[in-house]
Structure 1
Amino acid sequence: MTGTPQPCPADLLALKSIDAPQGIHRIGNKPEAFRKQLFRFHKHYLNAGSELRRLVSDGDMVASEAYCHTLKGVSGNLSMNSLFSCLCEIDDALKQERMPLPADLDLVDTLLHQVMEEIKTLAPPLMDAAPPSVGAVQDNDIPVKLSVLASLLEKDFGSAEECLADLRTYVAGSELEQAVAKIADQMDVFAIQEALATIHALLIHLDETRKRGKTP
């Protein structure tokens, strides 16, 4: 699901190491949602090059490949295309249990530095509006909202963020608040598969609770 295309802000359009129009399209044609994701990337992956190099130096191929694969996926989704291509080379080597070339690791450091420096030039994301007040949580609504969130996570991250904000407001103060906060934390670091797994587990829990006739 994609929204109506919006003009790409000048500061995003000026990025050299990130294809902002492409990235905005991937996130549902929402420039502000894309901007937020770039700032999250800067927050969580500022030292990603050093961390990848440390894992490789430790000889832990499984951990190295897992970390590289995650970084590759995030950079691809955010249209950091040169960084993505370089990480693909490293990921392929690690999958074959081969040590990455030092030159490739050096290039990751260089490309990451370029990306991070450019993100620092951007105007900060707009503050989210205060969520509207809601009434009592209706148990039957929660599985529907979770299922919608799971569907959006796989195809439209920008809309998924809006859905999550609505869900967090809906369950605020209930016993489900912590579980939904966990999903938010996973989305915050682009751990999409982990978020989907948490949603799936929560849906199972809610179904079992419903069958027992108890309030979760």
Structure 2
Amino acid sequence: ELLEQAGPLLRGVRVLVVDDNEVSREILAEMLRFFHLEVGTAWDGPSAIAELRNAAQPYDLVLMDWRMPGMNGDEVAQRIHQDHAIAQQPKIVMVTAYGREDVIRLSEQAGVDGILIKPVSPSTLLDTVLSVLGRGRIFGEGERRFDHAPDFSTRGQLAGARVLLVEDNDINREFAVELLRSEGMEVDQAINGAQAVEQVQRQEYDVVLMDIQMPVMDGLEAARRIRALADAPGGTRFATLPIVAMTALAMAQDAEQSRAAGMNDHVTKPIAPDRLMSALMRFVHLPPGRAAARKVTTEDRGSLSEEMLALRNLDVREGVRRIGGRVDAYRKQLRRFRENYAGAVVELRRLLSDQGVQAAQEYCHALKGVTGNLGAVAVYEQIAAIDGGLKAGQPPAEDTLEQLQAALVGVLEDIDRLGRLDDPPSQTSTQRLEPGTLRERLLQLAHALEYDLGAAEPLLEELKVGVVGTPMEAAINNIARSVDVFDIDAAQEQLRSLGMTDTGPAS
């Protein structure tokens, strides 16, 4: 309940995490990002001071590890307070596994604003952030809101932008597609870096949103190859094509790798809509006239029912917000999650046993982004901690996997509860499509698969209902399954087998 109240108001608050231990630093950063905070990282005292001095926007809060090589946290805190090159002095919280009186005394002498004792739980972290920054300040009780809070008045200014979205996970891809289209953007999709390199040469885009960790070719290599195209005759546009990384990686060196590969910026998963739109606004500059060519989505997006809001293991408000306000699309992704990840813990155990830590970490990487998008808070927190350990070569303990399983079961029960509340259309009330209408819809679907995937989904929904109990039912369901996993070539081939192409009946 506290996160539900404070979460939207914490957007735009900037926190610097300082810890020499990479795993601890990442776990803390992941928790903060889930609270909608903007997070930077540093690995020791000098790098923290440099980051505070050079930040384009000032930090509101520093979470400082006590025990670090070269300079302990209390000394770093003192230097921060004495450094006049830091434009705005942040609040400082000391994070320590040492609860001794001398540590507390030294921290107080250094002028810190709070102390956190490790291990840090999400609820304790959120409560400390609110207490140190001032609950009145956060909730607007008598004090000003943050000057650099996100500007929500930009909605619609990106309408008409042409975006290439490169993402291998189908659920994460669907979230991003719906969000971008809700703002009136035209979205093409690729599922790996190799496809992205091919597509930017066939079509001019205003921006590329690029996942980092993908099969076939990762996002870093794809970005390097796109930039290399600038050296070819007529390739000057590839030197300035904006490329924004989308990554579940949270470390400062990951951002540096993205920039070194030629990317302009990066946003962390799960993608915060305001952060993504802010990044796009900086890089997308539409020519006059094209911005008005498409409008922001205005169709009925559905409403959050009392039953959905009552679910205990899913933050449905956050999940729906991340998918552009589309309640129907959110429910579809919940069903897809149930189909693909109900056995996630079993699969994680199998990967650890058969293929090792690297394969398990890659699986956790995908699961972390998916659960973050869906608002499955407890599963996200568990998998983020496991992912951090795997990156350090530390497999999870059995009790940790059991805790993950318990959290996952809670989410699956919520999804099943929601499914039981749905009223599936009965075959007796189904309006079967007449032959002429069926032919027209199939032609429209062929065109949509070739030119506008966003139009394919409602056509498929109408077709699936309209052919129930007919010889076409199996074929339409097969096409829908292919589209659902972004196998468009297979869907087009299946449609051609019915005698349909995007230009009319196949000859």
TM-score by length of 1: 0.63
- Rounded to whole Å, the distance in 1 between the matches of 2:360 and 2:444 is 41
Question: Residue type of the partner of 2:445?
Answer: I
1:76 aligns with 2:372: yes
Quote the offset at 1:26 in angstroms.
Answer: 3.9
Shift in alpha-carbon separation, 1:118–1:202, aligned structure 2, 3 A: closer
Decide whether the 8 Å contact of 1:35 with 1:125 is kept in 2.
Answer: no
Report the equivalent of 1:157: none
- Taking the TM superposition and a 5 Å limit, the aligned residue runs for 1:132-211 are 132-136=432-436, 137=439, 140-147=443-450, 150-151=453-454, 160=457, 162-168=458-464, 173=471, 178=475, 181-185=477-481, 195-196=485-486, 198-203=487-492
C-alpha deviations, 1:130-151, integer Å up to 9, x for none? 3540435357533323246634
For 1:8, what is the secondary structure of its paired residue? coil
Quote the offset at 1:51 in angstroms.
Answer: 2.4
Shift in alpha-carbon separation, 1:83–1:10, aligned structure 2, 3 A: same
Share of identical aligned residues, percent? 28
Report the equivalent of 2:506: 215
Report the equivalent of 2:310: 14
1:125 aligns with 2:422: yes
Shift in alpha-carbon separation, 1:200–1:186, aligned structure 2, 3 A: closer
Structure having the higher strand fraction is 2
- Taking the TM superposition and a 5 Å limit, the aligned residue runs for 1:16-35 are 16-27=312-323, 29-31=325-327, 34-35=330-331
Shift in alpha-carbon separation, 1:29–1:118, aligned structure 2, 3 A: same
Unaligned stretches of 5+ residues in structure 1:
154-159
The structure having more radius of gyration, on CA atoms, is 2
Question: Residue type of the partner of 1:215?
Answer: A
Decide whether the 8 Å contact of 2:301 with 2:327 is kept in 1.
Answer: no
Tell me which of 389, 396, 417 is aligned to 1:101: 396
Unaligned stretches of 5+ residues in structure 2:
1-181, 183-296
Decide whether the 8 Å contact of 2:479 with 2:491 is kept in 1.
Answer: no
Quote the offset at 1:42 in angstroms.
Answer: 3.9
Shift in alpha-carbon separation, 1:201–1:30, aligned structure 2, 3 A: same
Question: Residue type of the partner of 2:461?
Answer: A
- Rounded to whole Å, the distance in 2 between the matches of 1:6 and 1:140 is 28
Structure having the higher helix fraction is 1
Quote the offset at 1:70 in angstroms.
Answer: 4.2
Q: Please, what is the CA RMSD of the aligned residues?
A: 4.2
Decide whether the 8 Å contact of 1:36 with 1:125 is kept in 2.
Answer: no
Quote the offset at 1:84 in angstroms.
Answer: 2.4
C-alpha deviations, 1:137-173, integer Å up to 9, x for none? 35753332324663479xxxxxx4x343135468875
Number of residues paired by the alignment?
A: 196
